[in-house]
Structures are given as structure tokens and as C-alpha cells.
Amino acid sequence: MLNYTIRRILIMIPTLVVISFLVFVIIQLPPGDFLSNQIAELKSQGDTGSLEKVEFLRRQYGLDKPFPERYATWVGIWPGDRGFSGLLQGDWGWSFEHDLPVKDLVGQRMLLSFILNFSVILFTWAVAFPIGVYVATHQYSWSDHGLTLLGYVGLATPNFLLALVLLYFANVEFGLSIGGIMDPEYLSQPWDWAKVRSVLTHLWIPVIVIGTSGTAAMIRRLRANLLDELQKQYVVTARAKGMPAFRLLVKYPLRMSLNPFISDIGNLLPSVISGSAIVAVVLSLQTSGPMLLEAIRSQDTYLAGSFLMFLSLLAVIGTLVSDLLLALLDPRIRLSGGVAK
Amino acid sequence: MSAADERLEHYVSPEPFEPYATEKLTPEQERFYRASQWQIMWWKFKRHRIAVIAAAILLVFYASTLVSENLAPYNLHTRDARHIYAPPQSIHFVDEGRFIGPFVYGYGMKLDMQTLNREYTPDPKLIYPMRFFCRGDEYRFWGLIEGRFHLFCPAEGGTLFLFGTDRLGRDLLSRIIYGTRISLTIGLLGIAVSFLIGITLGGISGYYGGWIDNIIQRFIEMVRAFPELPLWMALSAALPVTWSPLLVYFGITIILGLLDWPGLARAVRSKLLALREEDFATAAVLMGASPKRVIARHLLPSFTSHLIASATLSVPGMILGETALSFLGLGLRPPVTSWGVLLNEAQNINAVALYPWIMLSVAPVFIVVLAFNFMGDGMRDAADPYR
């Protein structure tokens, strides 16, 4: 197991290197940069005095350097003006627009992002598991058809729209403040119980909205897996010998069909993060999504880059966790050393 | 008496042997055994009733994109400044016991002086019968030929806003019909891009195996680890502002396709790997077929059906992706009109509270995505007809 873990973690390193490179390329793709936009604006205002300041900033942020050097400095394997100071050293760069270190800007948001995504996954499991088992054991019943249909509906509704509608009804019915992940007055306060409670009362809308499609997919997969398992010989044998239905279900087939639950964290996490990005924009949650969108729009290179990097890191770690759990659960994977499927 | 004496003499019937007479196939069986793979798939698909209905619905939607201009009662850009945010008009047939045929009541408008909201009510005095096969708004058919022919139009001087109007007083139904053309083709073009990359990389990976396979597989894992939407956002923000709307349209399709291929590449690879070991493939190799012939003639046909089915299942993802991007204002830009662009107007909470009909644009998204899912399920079941 230790061997497997080490190998799995080693694979992560080249993955992260490639991802960081792709991220950096992508955020540099738009023509010009934040400062050149700034310059154009200043020129149109006829403010030439500030132009020098902008040029100074350009030099300071190293935007005049060639691309590979900028990338290396950003990652932290090449000395910039302040020595080695990049992602590897824990320096996430500088946000042009907010004129603050990215780290100060995003710490809180990343925490909330993490809480949100984590809750969505818990929600997905908590809902998909009982429903999946129920529909598999009641195949072709009305509840099966009904829940399947509901799943399809969840799959087909764009979740930003669902977010809007739920938001509206939550406001009308429960008087919840529009938007945000907590009541506005708690935003700048330190964490205490009142704040946690406020977050909890607001969290359910985005969690439901983001979780729906993932839940629907998970139910379908669990149903298919469990149905396959239930038709196997050993189940028939156990049934013929008079084993109680519930005990039979829990003891063998259920355990076998649990694999997708674990291995799905890896698949689920990127899609959950995707979903939460857009839903967060609609609901104006104080998570990473809206800030990322704005950073991308204003070409705030390092802010956008660090966000993308953070989200990818979250997904990669999720895959790692799911692979490790799967290996723990299933000795075949652990022993053959293959990458979990 | 011993058993040996009992032995029958060797006997052959002198009558001519007719193999078809002894093992008689019923006509159905004969039809089944002689049918081609695709024919059997079609029979199997037909049995999946929901999938057939879904396919029919999609056919209607796609057919409508050919003649959007004729179906829409108004031109895409026609504005009625007197009817801004007008609610949907419903079709009536009978007015106070008198049969008129399909018609709508005109609007009576009142300005609420406190909220400054326009309040529309149906005015029973204004009766606007619908016209059919009529001359209405001018348009350029596919942007080329000028025409005025519509399937149905509002009465002369009257209005016909079956889905209501938006903030500029444009007919929502017409805009949805025009948007269908963009939204549906974007899914198809995106799939084409993703197919091209997926089959090429998956094919190379599965055929050569070894370290090439290893590298491509790691790369696929990396692309899959990316959260799609933030990446779409970043990529589409990279499309230059100076591009014409048409170029942006193609740019978006390519971006959507660019992230969708890993699943397909994996499917191609695993199928290739499995089929390579099958007896018929070995037989072909032993008979001296070239690798190219083995792949194209023996391996590919066995899993094209699977590929088509899985492609069908990923079209809705693209349609939703475009919708999401346009909704955020990063996707298509007006004057190109897609369902996502239309939904962009429903972005604020006011739309839900005051003008809920603006959200009708989600109905076609919903229907098409559902239909694609059902059809894809049916196709996936039919893709392996001999099971």
C-alpha cells in the first residue's frame, strides 16, 4: 500500500507541472495584458504622467520579460526581482486590479470554495446512495420510473437557471438574503457560531443546485452496477437458501457496487468545481468562481492563474484521494499497482 | 440374445437430401440472420419507444433550423417599442360565443406610477386574428435571399407575441426559433472537433500501445482533471474582441470540442485494444491483410456504432456548455442569437420575479437535452445488436 501511495503521489508531480504550464499559456492567450489595457485607457484620457508609472510597474512585475522566464518566475524555479518567489515558495503572485498579493485576496474565498465543494459531494452521496439502492431493488416500479425521470430532469436543467429560481423562492418563502454564501454583516467578521449558522442557512441552495446533475448521474450508475450484481449466481444461491433480503443486499452486492462511489470522487470533483464556478457567479457567492471570472475578464494574469491552478489542484488531489481509497477498498488494484479505473 | 445381433444395418435413404427442409427457418428467423448489422441495430432501436420519440423530436428541431426564417412570425431584430416586456398572448378561438378562428387579444397597457412598471392586460375589444401562409417581416433567407413569406404572422397592425417580448420589445418566440439554428449546430460542430481529436489520439494510443499509449493516457488524465467550465471561461476570454460574431461562433465550437475528446479517445482506445485480440482480427492478419485494412475494414466497423452512441450522449453537454458560457457573457455575442444569449437576459432576479416568460428560452434547451439523452440511451443499447 505504501508503495502504491508513493507511486501515485509521484505521478501527480508531472501532472501538476503540465497543468501549471497549460494554465499559464491559457491566461496569457488574450492579446495584450492588464497593463497594456491600462495604458490604452490612460492614453485616451491624455494622462501621460501616469504612463511612466505604468512602465515602471511593467518592469516591476516582469511583464517585459520573455514568456519562459515569466513562467519560471511564476512557478518559482527562476529568480525574479525578489529572488525565488513563486507557487513553490507559497507566493501566489500579485493582483494588478486589487493591488494586493493574491494570497491575501483569495484565502477566505478558497476556504469557502472548499467548504462548498465538499458539501456538494457529501450531499451527492447522501442523496444518491439510498435512492440508487432503492431504485435498483425496485426495478421497473413506479418509483423507479419516477426517480429516473427526475434524474433526467436534473440532468437537463441548466443549473444556473435552477439557481435563480431557487434563490427567488428562498427569498420569497424564507426571507433569505439574495445572493451570497452568508448574511452580508458576517462577511468581514471572524468565524464564530453565528457566522457558521449563517453560512449553513445559505449553503443549501448552491449545494442542491450544483449537486443535482452529479446526483442524477450517480444514481444511474449505482442502479446499473447494483442490478448487474443482483443477477449474479451467488445472489440467487443466497436467496434460494433463504437469506433475508435486506441482509443479503447489504452483505455482498452493495459492497461490490460501492466502487463507483469512491472512484467517482475523481470524476465528480472537476464537474462539481465547474458547476460551482457558474452557480457562484449567479448567486454571487464569495467563492472563487466570480473572482476568477472577473480576473479573466480584466486579464489580471496572476490572480486568474492562481485560481485556475488552485481549482485544478483541488481536482488532482480529489483524484488522488479517490484512487487511494479505492486501493484501500479493493486489493486487486493495490496489488497490481495499476491506476484505478 | 446379445446386443450385437440387435445392431441396425447401415442404411442410407435413397431420397435426395434437402438441408433447408429439415432445418426450416421461419421467415422471421431468416430475415434476422440475413440482415446486416445496421439493420438489426435499427430494429432494436425501434423497440426502444422513448428513444424513437426523442429522435423524432430532435428531427423536428433540426428540420426547423433549415427554415427558421419562415417559421418565426417576426424578424430576429424586429423591435416593437410600444410593447416592452409584454407577457405572452394566448391563442383563443371563440370570442363571446362567436367563432373567429385562432386569434389573440391585443394589449391594454397601463403604467404603474409607483413602480414605473408597465402592466399589460388583454384587451377584449382588440381582436387580432392570426394569418397563415402570409407576407410579414422582411428577412434574408440564410442571410442570402430576401423574402417575406412566413408560416404565420400577426394581423395587420396587430401583435402576436406567443412567448411575450424582451426588454427591447422583440418577440421571444421568433428569437428562440432563430436561436435553435445556432445552438443546435454548435453541438454538432463541437462533436466533429472532438471526434477528430478523439479518434486520432485514441487510435494511435490503442494501435501502437507501449510508451506512446502511456504518454497519451497520462495526457488524457490531465485534461480530465481540469475543471471544464473555468477552462472554457479562460479560453473563450482569449478570443479577440475584434473577431466577427461568426468567427467567435467557430471559436466557441472549437473550444467546446477541445475539452470533450478525452472520453472519446479512451473509448476508442479500449475498444481497439479489446478487438485487436478477437479471432476475426487475428484471422485477417493471418490472411495477410495490411494493418490499415485490418483497422479500417475489420476493427472500425465493429465499434462505429458505439462511437456514434457515445457522441450522441455528449452533444447535450456541449449545448449546455454553450448556454453556460453565453449566459456568463463569455460565449456568443449579439447579434448572433443562441439560447444561451437569450438566457443571458434572464440573468438577474428581476426576470424571475417580474418577467418570468423570459425564462421560456430554457424550454427548448431542456427538451433538446432530454431528447439527446433518451436517444443516446436507446442508441447505446442498440449499438451491440448481437447481445
Res. A27 pLDDT band, cuts 50 70 90: confident
Beta bridge partners of B105: B127
- The arithmetic mean of pLDDT across residues B58-64, rounded, is 92
The domain total for chain A is 1
- Report which DSSP code applies to B10: P
Does any domain span residue A309?
yes
Question: Quick one: which of B135, B138, B139, B256 has its CA closest to B189?
Answer: B256
CA gap B342, B176 in Å, rounded: 8
Q: How far is CA A271 from CA A13, A32, A114, in A?
A: 22, 31, 14
CA gap B140, B322 in Å, rounded: 26
CB A42 within 8 A of CB A49: no
B29, HSE (Cβ side, Cα atoms, 13 Å): 4
CB B295 within 8 A of CB B276: no
- The arithmetic mean of pLDDT across residues A108-124, rounded, is 83
Query: Over the stretch B276-328, which tens digit does the pLDDT of each residue have?
Result: 778 888 898 899 888 778 877 888 777 787 788 778 878 888 888 888 888 87
Beta bridge partners of B149: B135
- Interface check for B366 against chain A (CB to CB < 8 A): the answer is yes
- Interface check for B58 against chain A (CB to CB < 8 A): the answer is no
Q: Which residues of A touch B320 (CB under 8 A)?
A: 158
CA distance B183 to chain A (A): 14
Q: Quickly tell me which residue has 443466497 as its cell.
A: A238
Q: Which residues of B touch A322 (CB under 8 A)?
A: none
CA B284 to chain centre: 37
- Interface check for B346 against chain A (CB to CB < 8 A): the answer is yes
Amino acid at B190: G
- The arithmetic mean of pLDDT across residues B249-273, rounded, is 83
Res. B58 pLDDT band, cuts 50 70 90: very high
Smallest Cβ–Cβ distance between A308 and the set B230, B349, B369 belongs to B230
Cβ <8 Å between A153 and B327: no
CB A279 within 8 A of CB A159: yes
List all residues of chain A from 96 to 115 with a beta carbon under 8 Å from chain B.
Answer: none
- The arithmetic mean of pLDDT across residues A296-317, rounded, is 79
- Interface check for B221 against chain A (CB to CB < 8 A): the answer is yes
Question: Quick one: which of B314, B319, B313 has its CA closest to B331?
Answer: B319
- Interface check for A217 against chain B (CB to CB < 8 A): the answer is no
Amino acid at A182: M
Does any domain span residue A281?
yes
Cβ <8 Å between A157 and B343: no
pLDDT value of residue A337: 47
Q: Is the bond into A260 cis (omega within 30 degrees of 0)?
A: no
Smallest Cβ–Cβ distance between B235 and the set A26, A168, A178 belongs to A26
Cβ <8 Å between B230 and A160: no
Cβ <8 Å between A161 and B231: no
Which of A77-81, B45-49, B173-177, B234-238 holds the top average pLDDT?
A: B173-177
CB-defined contacts A:B, below 8 A? 127
CB B319 within 8 A of CB B186: yes
Strand order in the sheet with B92-95: B92-95, B98-112, B117-129
The CB density around residue B271, as the number of other CB atoms within 10 Å, is: 19
Q: How far is CA B126 from CA B107, B134, B289, in A?
A: 8, 21, 77
- Report which DSSP code applies to B171: B
Res. A338 pLDDT band, cuts 50 70 90: very low
Cβ <8 Å between A293 and B349: no
Res. B57 pLDDT band, cuts 50 70 90: very high
CATH number assigned to the domain covering B175-382: 1.10.3720.10
- Residue A118 in this model has a pLDDT that exceeds 80: yes
pLDDT value of residue B333: 76
pLDDT value of residue A334: 63
Amino acid at A250: V
Mutation site for A-interface testing, chosen from B57, B231, B269 by largest number of A Cβ within 10 Å? B231
Smallest Cβ–Cβ distance between B324 and the set A19, A158, A273 belongs to A158
CA B199 to chain centre: 21
Mutation site for A-interface testing, chosen from B217, B260, B322, B352 by largest number of A Cβ within 10 Å? B352
The CB density around residue A68, as the number of other CB atoms within 10 Å, is: 10
CB B170 within 8 A of CB B345: no
Does any domain span residue A22?
no
**Cell reading at B102:** 385562432
Question: Quick one: which of B360, B327, B333 has its CA closest to B345?
Answer: B327
The CB density around residue A194, as the number of other CB atoms within 10 Å, is: 13
Query: Over the stretch A204-234, which tens digit does the pLDDT of each residue have?
Result: 888 888 888 788 888 888 888 888 888 888 8
CA distance B250 to chain A (A): 17
CA gap B76, B310 in Å, rounded: 34
- Interface check for B296 against chain A (CB to CB < 8 A): the answer is no
Cβ <8 Å between A27 and B234: yes
CB B375 within 8 A of CB B316: no
Does any domain span residue A173?
yes
Res. B45 pLDDT band, cuts 50 70 90: confident
- Residue B56 in this model has a pLDDT that exceeds 90: yes
Question: Quick one: which of A341, A324, A325, A326 has its CA closest to A7?
Answer: A324
CA gap B321, B346 in Å, rounded: 17
- Interface check for A156 against chain B (CB to CB < 8 A): the answer is yes
CA distance A227 to chain B (A): 16
Does any domain span residue A93?
no
Q: Quickly tell me which residue has 516591476 as its cell.
A: A60
Where are the domains positioned within chain B? Answer: 89-160, 175-382
Q: Which residues of A touch B359 (CB under 8 A)?
A: 161, 164-165
- Interface check for A39 against chain B (CB to CB < 8 A): the answer is no
- pLDDT higher at A227 or B207: A227
- The arithmetic mean of pLDDT across residues B98-121, rounded, is 78
Smallest Cβ–Cβ distance between A26 and the set B219, B238, B351 belongs to B238
- Interface check for A291 against chain B (CB to CB < 8 A): the answer is no
pLDDT value of residue A81: 64
Query: Over the stretch B362-378, which tens digit does the pLDDT of each residue have?
Result: 888 889 988 888 888 88
CA gap B70, B157 in Å, rounded: 20
Residue B283's SS3 state is helix
Does any domain span residue A112?
yes
- Interface check for B222 against chain A (CB to CB < 8 A): the answer is yes
Res. B53 pLDDT band, cuts 50 70 90: very high
List all residues of chain B from 87 to 146 with a beta carbon under 8 Å from chain A.
Answer: none
Cβ <8 Å between B353 and A168: yes
- pLDDT higher at B56 or A49: B56
ipTM of the assembly? 0.74
Q: Which residues of A touch B370 (CB under 8 A)?
A: 152-153, 155-156
Cβ <8 Å between B222 and A156: no
- Residue B4 in this model has a pLDDT that exceeds 60: no
- Residue B59 in this model has a pLDDT that exceeds 90: yes
Backbone angles phi, psi at A5, to 5 degrees: -60, -45
- Interface check for A178 against chain B (CB to CB < 8 A): the answer is yes
Res. B3 pLDDT band, cuts 50 70 90: low
**Cell reading at A143:** 418509483
Residue A81's SS3 state is coil
**H-state helical runs in chain B:** 19-22, 27-34, 37-47, 49-66, 68-71, 172-208, 210-225, 228-237, 245-258, 261-276, 279-286, 291-293, 300-327, 339-344, 349-353, 362-382
CA distance A316 to chain B (A): 6
CA distance A314 to chain B (A): 9
Amino acid at A253: P
Q: Which residues of B touch A271 (CB under 8 A)?
A: 227-228
**Cell reading at A53:** 508609472
Amino acid at A173: E
CATH code of A112's domain: 1.10.3720.10
Residue B93's SS3 state is strand
**H-state helical runs in chain A:** 2-28, 34-44, 49-60, 67-75, 102-137, 142-156, 159-174, 193-230, 233-240, 245-251, 253-256, 259-282, 288-297, 301-329, 331-336
Cβ <8 Å between A271 and B320: no
Residue A127's SS3 state is helix
- The arithmetic mean of pLDDT across residues B22-35, rounded, is 76
Beta bridge partners of A83: A80
Query: Over the stretch A121-169, which tens digit does the pLDDT of each residue have?
Result: 888 888 888 888 888 888 778 888 888 788 778 778 887 788 888 888 8
Q: Which residues of A touch B227 (CB under 8 A)?
A: 269-271, 273-274, 277, 311-312, 315
Q: Which residues of B touch A277 (CB under 8 A)?
A: 227, 229-230, 233
- Interface check for A331 against chain B (CB to CB < 8 A): the answer is no
Res. B101 pLDDT band, cuts 50 70 90: confident
Question: Quick one: which of B191, B25, B154 has its CA closest to B80?
Answer: B154
Query: Over the stretch B327-356, which tens digit does the pLDDT of each residue have?
Result: 877 778 777 888 888 888 777 777 777 888
Residue B147's SS3 state is strand
- Interface check for B256 against chain A (CB to CB < 8 A): the answer is no
The CB density around residue A295, as the number of other CB atoms within 10 Å, is: 30
* Domain interval for residue A272: 102-329
Residue in chain A nearest B374 by alpha carbon: A152
Query: Over the stretch B116-168, which tens digit does the pLDDT of each residue have?
Result: 777 788 877 788 888 888 887 888 888 788 888 888 888 877 788 888 888 88
CA distance A98 to chain B (A): 19
Q: Which residues of A touch B234 (CB under 8 A)?
A: 26-27, 29, 296, 304, 308
Question: Quick one: which of B195, B187, B140, B153 has its CA closest to B322?
Answer: B187
Question: Quick one: which of B364, B322, B358, B366 has its CA closest to B342?
Answer: B358
Angle at B386 between CA B385 and CA B387, to 5 degrees: 95
**Cell reading at A323:** 484512487
pLDDT value of residue A272: 76
- Interface check for B362 against chain A (CB to CB < 8 A): the answer is yes
